[in-house]
């Protein structure tokens, strides 16, 4: 019944983000202009992002200082706890040691505020008045709304229409923080109006919502665009997670044999894994790293490593990533935060370098794992986090079979308080597994741009 | 923008609960048998509670040791943070210092696990197999379900039918922890069947749900009943809140001039306030303590201090408390956790002794306060907690008028993640204020038993 919690004192909270670009044997491929197909420079991104974030996007400095004001806000919930899951170990009867880092203690309930606060700060510093973004399930939208409220920035969120209607409580949380939330596709943008003219009943997609947000941000000199995953600077901000975990495991006198994270766009995975992969790249310490993605959106396990757009309307730059194609519409599984057609370029690059393994999990396995975790550890995970729980449990059960006492670390990136319909459906037997055939994936990939 | 957080290290977590009975100038009035009207003894309560809890109910020891196993589970989320609300102070432009203790970091999202874990522990120790309880809004039911899962106890929850239907996500959380949840009135008990025979469309009440739970627990030798507020031992378990706050304010070099808590059954108020009231009773340190209750369920401000039953069906013992009458059905305000007809006997006794002030707040004031708090501090409070927020803000604004820099402490007893419909309704202008006339209260009080 024992709870083993490793809490860092505030003075040991990281004061710099860790930039893995400094430790890469080769830099990731260039980012290309959506129109010309030529490499872009910082100035090309200036209408969308503040210069401080653009410079972070291309930086190769290993340590990037966290501004005092961002640290001051992080301290509301950071350092987050690292737990040893002794009760889960007992339930699984495994000789493995399972540790989990818990990011659900943030005000918005996930790891997303780590970057939302930083992005809001840099935008405020550069005189920006409003932030425009998109959200699917709503984790990111609510985190940016929280950060915007603290810095006195207006926040406008294009929320995928199907989620806008199905997840009214995530919308309510954003509105409670003072944000304006618009169902996408909307009549407020050219991109939205074009979609609606052709498909009046469109329920929207993340790709369309990104197009709307980018369009509005690019046209308003007082506004900038904000993205919650995929980009280098977003992954950078999440590295506080893994850095803290390193220090906490040191307190425990331990080091992981295996690090597990779930992957959608790649930001929480990068947050927990990059500091450990960095140590491996520098030849300091070996580790096995496992990414767990949904079988219903298998960019790492079934996608192609190729140049692709970040949005359906092809307005964003092209990046080289593991992608299912920008037209890909993932099946309606409940881990909405993992339903993105592409993977962060840095994460994709590291997979190509053989620095981690990718695996897929079916929905039913992940919910079963999440419920077993909740009953043992008391915390109900978000459906996204259930993928990491399932991955860690697979490894723990392998240890049981092999009689090995390995040390497993995973990132519990958020709680499931806003995902109770998913648990209700699971317990009622209404959820199904889903997997794309190779033929279906090949069809989706046929639309990839012919560059790179 | 600064966050000021006072975190106690785990080794400073309280190892004993504080029992205010030791410091009372006079003991509270006796508990009476529901049938005979005579004082009851420990043996009378044995069918409902384990003996360890019955002994705590009547103990006058100042310190009651917290069992190691309970401490071990507390450490999952305790000590909870104490924050200085600097951003709220700035938003209010007040010279007051506002501190808040945040209990929403528990796995179930409120202070309720402080007693749920202790109750589950003592029941498990005495060989009990299942716990039976009732719940209204669901905070208590989900906390006992959480605790039951950790100790391998079955949990059965009678949930007021209107909440069962309107709050499916609280029910889903209880079921995720493995509890069985039954809409009350049900056909599973005599009490339920009697109500349904007379009122087939009954939407239930807390009083009826208590009757059902007590009936089932009393008949099953392997089961016991569990209550989430009102009783002495429940209030006792909550005193970890105020004890921690005392130590944290000492770290801050501060002591409150004013302590504010919201009141329903009285447990979170007791948790934050009793250690401070105790210091006052012992003549060590003065403090002003303010209880804020909903105007729509005004037991302290409009009720009578009299003997009454805890449930509608008159199955529970009679206790002397501030009550609106056991037949009182409070208006359907959203702070469901504060909708109870009576007040904890110890809290009532202390009001009679002049140890604190009681005040009422209307629903609209509390939601406005909660949203202002969320936008300043980032945490969205539960509707119950909004009453404490509103009370603290009233005091802070008085300080502004008077130009006084007082120190205010309040208890933020839970987050609002499961209460988003209430915020949606508030922002849509659908919520209303409500107040009972003196005549209506007098009518409800007419049904009080004629004892004491």
- Chain A residue nearest residue B179, CA to CA: A375
Can you tell me the distance from the alpha carbon of A360 to that of A356, in angstroms, rounded to the nearest whole number?
Answer: 14
Omega within 30 of 0 (cis) for the link into B79: yes
pLDDT at B336 over 90: no
Distances, alpha carbon A406 to alpha carbons A124, A244, A257, A355, A377, in Å: 45, 21, 6, 19, 20
To the nearest whole angstrom, how far is the Cα of B75 from the nearest Cα of chain A? 6
pLDDT confidence of residue A1: 58
Distances, alpha carbon B229 to alpha carbons B37, B107, B291, in Å: 23, 19, 15
Residue contact B3–A76, C-beta within 8 A: yes
Can you tell me the distance from the alpha carbon of A333 to that of A367, in angstroms, rounded to the nearest whole number?
Answer: 11
Residue B270 lies in a domain: yes
Residue B379 lies in a domain: yes
Q: Are B302 and B367 in contact (CB under 8 A)?
A: no
pLDDT at B137 over 70: yes
pLDDT confidence of residue A245: 98
Q: Provide the domain limits for residue B403.
A: 72-109+233-445
Q: Are A293 and A262 in contact (CB under 8 A)?
A: yes
Q: Which is it for strands B180-184 and B154-160: parallel, antiparallel or unpaired?
A: parallel
Q: Which residues of B touch A146 (CB under 8 A)?
A: 378
The confidence band for B206, taking pLDDT boundaries of 50, 70 and 90, is confident
Can you tell me the distance from the alpha carbon of B175 to that of B274, in angstroms, rounded to the nearest whole number?
Answer: 34
Please provide residue B65's backbone torsions phi and psi, each rounded to the nearest 5 degrees.
-60, 135
Residue contact B76–A375, C-beta within 8 A: no
- ipTM of this complex: 0.95
Can you tell me the distance from the alpha carbon of A318 to that of A37, in angstroms, rounded to the nearest whole number?
Answer: 8
Which position has the higher pLDDT, A315 or B327?
A: A315
Q: Are B33 and B40 in contact (CB under 8 A)?
A: yes
Omega within 30 of 0 (cis) for the link into A185: yes
Residue contact A417–B109, C-beta within 8 A: yes
pLDDT confidence of residue A393: 98
Q: Kindly list the residues of chain B whose beta carbon comes within 8 Å of any beta carbon in chain A.
A: 1-3, 5, 7, 9-10, 69, 72-76, 83, 87, 105, 107-109, 146, 149-151, 168-169, 172-173, 175-178, 371, 374-376, 378-380, 417-418, 420-421, 423-424, 427
H helices within B152-189, ranges in order?
Answer: 161-166, 168-176
Q: Which residues lie across from B353 on neighbouring strands?
A: none
Q: Which residue has the tokens 């406005």?
A: B368
Q: Are B266 and B231 in contact (CB under 8 A)?
A: no
Q: H or E stretch including A402? A: helix A383-402
CA-CA-CA-CA torsion sign (A20, A21, A27, A28): positive
Q: Which residue from A61, A81, A45 is spatially nearest to A249, judged by alpha carbons?
A: A81
To the nearest whole angstrom, how far is the Cα of B14 from the nearest Cα of chain A? 16
Can you tell me the distance from the alpha carbon of A337 to that of A411, in angstroms, rounded to the nearest whole number?
Answer: 15
Q: Are B389 and B406 in contact (CB under 8 A)?
A: no
Per-residue pLDDT of chain A (452 residues; tens, 9 = 90+): 577 899 898 899 999 999 999 999 999 999 999 999 999 999 999 999 999 999 999 999 999 999 999 999 999 999 999 999 999 999 999 999 999 999 999 999 999 999 999 999 999 999 999 999 999 889 999 999 999 999 999 999 999 998 898 889 999 999 999 999 999 999 999 999 999 999 999 888 888 899 999 999 999 999 999 999 999 999 999 999 999 999 999 999 999 999 999 999 999 999 999 999 999 999 999 999 999 999 999 999 999 999 999 988 898 999 999 999 988 877 767 777 788 889 999 999 999 999 999 999 999 999 999 999 999 999 999 999 999 999 999 999 999 999 999 999 999 999 999 999 999 999 999 999 988 888 888 988 988 988 75
Q: Which residue from B242, B17, B226, B207 is spatially nearest to B124, judged by alpha carbons?
A: B226
Can you tell me the distance from the alpha carbon of A112 to that of A118, in angstroms, rounded to the nearest whole number?
Answer: 10
Residue A251 belongs to domain with CATH number: 3.40.50.1100
Q: Locate B224 and state its tokens.
A: 């016991």
Q: What is the DSSP letter of B24?
A: -
- Chain B residue nearest residue A4, CA to CA: B76
pLDDT confidence of residue A163: 86
Can you tell me the distance from the alpha carbon of B306 to that of A122, in angstroms, rounded to the nearest whole number?
Answer: 60
Please provide residue A225's backbone torsions phi and psi, each rounded to the nearest 5 degrees.
-95, 150
Residue B414 lies in a domain: yes
Helix (H/G/I), strand (E/B), else coil: A378: coil
Q: Kindly list the residues of chain A whose beta carbon comes within 8 Å of any beta carbon in chain B.
A: 1-3, 5, 7, 9-10, 69, 72-76, 83, 87, 105, 107-109, 146, 149-151, 168-169, 172-173, 175-178, 371, 374-376, 378-380, 417-418, 420-421, 423-424, 427
Residue A208 lies in a domain: no
Q: Which residues lie across from B4 on neighbouring strands?
A: B84
Helix (H/G/I), strand (E/B), else coil: B250: helix
Residue contact B378–A146, C-beta within 8 A: yes
Residue A188 lies in a domain: no
Residue contact B424–A169, C-beta within 8 A: yes
Residue contact B149–A76, C-beta within 8 A: no
Q: What is the DSSP letter of A431?
A: -
The share of chain B scoring above pLDDT 90, in percent, equals: 86
Residue contact B3–A75, C-beta within 8 A: yes
Q: Locate B412 and state its tokens.
A: 């933020």
Residue contact A375–B417, C-beta within 8 A: no
pLDDT at B242 over 90: yes
- Chain B residue nearest residue A426, CA to CA: B176
Q: Which residues of B touch A74 (CB under 8 A)?
A: 3
- pTM confidence score: 0.96
Nearest to B3 among A73, A151, A380 (CB): A73
Residue contact A418–B423, C-beta within 8 A: no
Q: Which residues of A touch B83 (CB under 8 A)?
A: 76
Can you tell me the distance from the alpha carbon of B112 to that of B135, in angstroms, rounded to the nearest whole number?
Answer: 12
The per-residue pLDDT for range B281-326, each reduced to its tens digit, is 999 999 999 999 999 999 999 999 999 999 888 989 999 999 999 8
pLDDT confidence of residue B408: 98
pLDDT confidence of residue A206: 86
To the nearest whole angstrom, how far is the Cα of A122 from the nearest Cα of chain B? 14
DSSP string, A40-92: P-HHHHTTTS-HHHHHHHH---SEEEPPHHHHHHHTTTPSPPEEE-HHHHHHH
Please count the CA atoms within 13 angstroms of the CA of B289 that sit on its side-chain side. Answer: 29
Residue contact A5–B176, C-beta within 8 A: no
Can you tell me the distance from the alpha carbon of B177 to that of B149, in angstroms, rounded to the nearest whole number?
Answer: 6
Residue contact B423–A172, C-beta within 8 A: yes
Residue contact A375–B178, C-beta within 8 A: yes
Residue A105 lies in a domain: yes
pLDDT at B452 over 70: no
Residue contact A427–B75, C-beta within 8 A: no
pLDDT confidence of residue B327: 80
Residue contact A375–B177, C-beta within 8 A: yes
- Chain A residue nearest residue B146, CA to CA: A378
Residue B92 lies in a domain: yes
Residue contact B380–A418, C-beta within 8 A: no
The per-residue pLDDT for range A266-277, each reduced to its tens digit, is 999 999 999 999
Number of domains, chain A = 1
CA-CA-CA-CA torsion sign (B393, B399, B404, B409): negative
Q: Which residues of B touch A424 (CB under 8 A)?
A: 168-169, 172, 175
Distance between first and last Cα of chain A: 55
Query: CA geometry: angle at B262 spanning B259 and B268, to 5°?
Result: 85
Q: Are B9 and B54 in contact (CB under 8 A)?
A: no
pLDDT confidence of residue B203: 86
Q: Which long-range contacts (CB under 8 A, 24 or more apart) does A7-12 make?
A: A7/A79, A7/A81, A7/A248, A7/B7, A7/B9, A7/B10, A8/A79, A8/A244, A8/A247, A8/A248, A8/A251, A9/A79, A9/B7, A9/B9, A10/A75, A10/A79, A10/B5, A10/B7, A12/A79, A12/A247
Q: Which residue from A305, A265, A269 is spatially nearest to A289, judged by alpha carbons?
A: A269
pLDDT confidence of residue A15: 98
To the nearest whole angstrom, how far is the Cα of A138 from the nearest Cα of chain B? 13
pLDDT confidence of residue A99: 98
Q: Are A431 and A123 in contact (CB under 8 A)?
A: no
Q: Which residues of B touch A7 (CB under 8 A)?
A: 7, 9-10
Distances, alpha carbon A79 to alpha carbons A104, A238, B5, B120, B357, in Å: 12, 13, 12, 30, 38
Q: What is the DSSP letter of A129?
A: -
B/e letters for B65-83, b = 16+ CB within 10 Å, e = fewer, are ebeebbbbbbbbbbbbbbb
Helix (H/G/I), strand (E/B), else coil: B297: coil
Mutation choice for B interface testing from A88, A370, A420 by most B CBs within 10 A: A420
Q: Which residues lie across from B183 on neighbouring strands?
A: B159
- Chain B residue nearest residue A153, CA to CA: B375
Q: Locate B290 and state its tokens.
A: 């303010």
The confidence band for B335, taking pLDDT boundaries of 50, 70 and 90, is confident
Q: Which residue has the tokens 């983000």?
A: A17
Residue A246 lies in a domain: yes
Q: Which residues of B touch A168 (CB under 8 A)?
A: 420, 424
Q: Which residues of B touch A76 (CB under 8 A)?
A: 3, 5, 83, 378
Residue contact A150–B175, C-beta within 8 A: no
- Chain B residue nearest residue A143, CA to CA: B378
Q: Locate B433 and state its tokens.
A: 């204020």
Mutation choice for B interface testing from A417, A423, A425, A429 by most B CBs within 10 A: A417
């Amino acid at each position: 019944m024992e709870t083993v919690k490793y809490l860092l004192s505030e003075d040991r909270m990281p004061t710099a983000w860790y930039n893995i670009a400094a430790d890469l044997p080769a830099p990731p491929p260039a980012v290309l202009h959506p129109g010309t197909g030529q490499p872009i420079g910082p100035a090309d991104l200036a209408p969308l992002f503040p210069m401080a974030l653009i410079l972070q996007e291309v930086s190769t400095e290993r340590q990037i200082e966290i501004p005092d004001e961002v640290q001051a806000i992080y301290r509301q919930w950071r350092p987050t706890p690292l737990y040893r899951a002794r009760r889960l170990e007992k339930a699984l009867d495994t000789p493995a040691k399972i540790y989990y880092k818990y990011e659900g203690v943030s005000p918005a309930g996930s790891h997303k505020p780590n970057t939302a606060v930083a992005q809001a700060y840099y935008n405020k510093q550069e005189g920006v008045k409003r932030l425009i973004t998109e959200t699917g399930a709503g984790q990111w939208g609510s985190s940016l709304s929280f950060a915007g409220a603290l810095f006195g920035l207006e926040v406008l969120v294009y929320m995928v229409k199907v989620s806008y209607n199905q997840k009214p409580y995530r919308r309510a949380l954003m509105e409670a923080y003072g944000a304006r939330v618009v169902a996408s596709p909307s009549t407020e943008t050219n991109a939205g109006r074009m979609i609606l003219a052709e498909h009046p009943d469109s329920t929207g997609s993340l790709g369309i919502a990104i197009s709307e947000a980018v369009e509005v941000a690019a046209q308003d000199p007082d506004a900038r665009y904000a993205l919650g995953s995929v980009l280098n600077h977003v992954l950078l901000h999440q590295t506080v997670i893994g850095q803290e975990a390193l220090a906490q495991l040191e307190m425990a006198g331990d080091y992981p044999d295996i690090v597990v994270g779930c992957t959608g766009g790649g930001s929480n995975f990068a947050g927990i894994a990059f500091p450990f992969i960095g140590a491996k790249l520098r030849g300091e310490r070996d580790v096995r790293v496992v990414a767990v993605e949904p079988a219903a959106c298998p960019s790492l396990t079934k996608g192609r490593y190729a140049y692709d757009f970040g949005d359906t309307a092809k307005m964003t730059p092209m990046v080289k990533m593991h992608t299912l194609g920008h037209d890909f519409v993932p099946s309606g599984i409940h881990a909405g935060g993992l339903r993105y057609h592409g993977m962060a370029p840095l994460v994709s690059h590291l997979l190509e370098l053989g620095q981690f393994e990718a695996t897929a999990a079916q929905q039913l396995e992940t919910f079963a794992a999440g419920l077993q975790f909740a009953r043992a550890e008391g915390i109900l995970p978000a459906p996204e986090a259930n993928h990491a729980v399932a991955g860690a449990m697979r490894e723990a059960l392998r240890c049981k079979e092999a009689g090995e006492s390995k040390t497993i670390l995973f990132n519990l990136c958020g709680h499931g308080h806003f995902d109770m319909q998913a648990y209700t459906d699971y317990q009622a037997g209404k959820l199904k597994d889903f997997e794309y055939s190779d033929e279906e994936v090949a069809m989706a990939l046929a639309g990839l741009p012919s560059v790179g």
